[in-house]
Amino acid sequence: MSFRPSPVLVPAPRSQDVAWTRWGTWWLPVGPALVACYATVMVLTILVLEPLAAMPGLTRAEIYGALEAAGWTVAGAVPFLVVWAALGVGLSVAGCAVALGRQVAPDAALAWQLAVLALGAPAYFWGAFGMGMDLADTFMITGGDHSAAPPVLYAVSGWAFVALVGLQVPRAVRWVKARRG
């Protein structure tokens, strides 16, 4: 009696494996890179650009000194903003890591990155609100954005949201058709 090894059964490729072959993975690090750039611009806008634009003619040190004299703690905002920005970058990197392990379909990986970018607008608003109020109360100026950077951040988040919705429309249509039978 001779020994014959049994044939190895290879499972059929899953549809997302075929999709990963078509999409590739070269683009995955672009998401965390974009989110890191967004987060960096967000923090620099809140801590540097907005105060300087709100109070032209004063240096950052003079502005921070006036805020401290009025009882507002600028130094306390820095760790919060850095952690807040790092949270977004961490979410993006986590999504990238899951996608690199091919645990999700490529369109879901792209949707995750777009969602993190889209959530940058509310993150910026929440992060900037305190500093904006402190500036307004200290210098008796109007609140709101004074530099050119916030509209760009809002535009990036808005376009990411539009792209996210556009990416999900075909999926929703397929889901509705499947439910109808």
pTM of the shown model: 0.84
Kindly provide the b/e burial profile for residues 43-74, where b requires at least 16 CB atoms within 10 angstroms of the residue's own CB: bebbbebbbbbbbeeeeeeebbebbeeeebeb
Angle at 92 between CA 90 and CA 97, to 5 degrees: 90
Q: Is the dihedral of CA 85, 88, 91, 94 positive or negative?
A: negative
Asked whether 98 and 137 are in contact (CB, 8 A), the reply is no
Question: Model confidence over 99-151: pLDDT tens digits?
Answer: 888 788 888 899 999 999 999 999 999 999 999 999 999 999 998 899 999 99
- pLDDT of 61 higher than 90: yes
d(CA 143, CA 150): 13
Minimum mean pLDDT range among 6-10, 66-70, 124-128, 177-181: 6-10
- Of 23 and 93, the one with more pLDDT: 93
> Where are the domains positioned within the chain?
25-180
- pLDDT of 83 higher than 70: yes
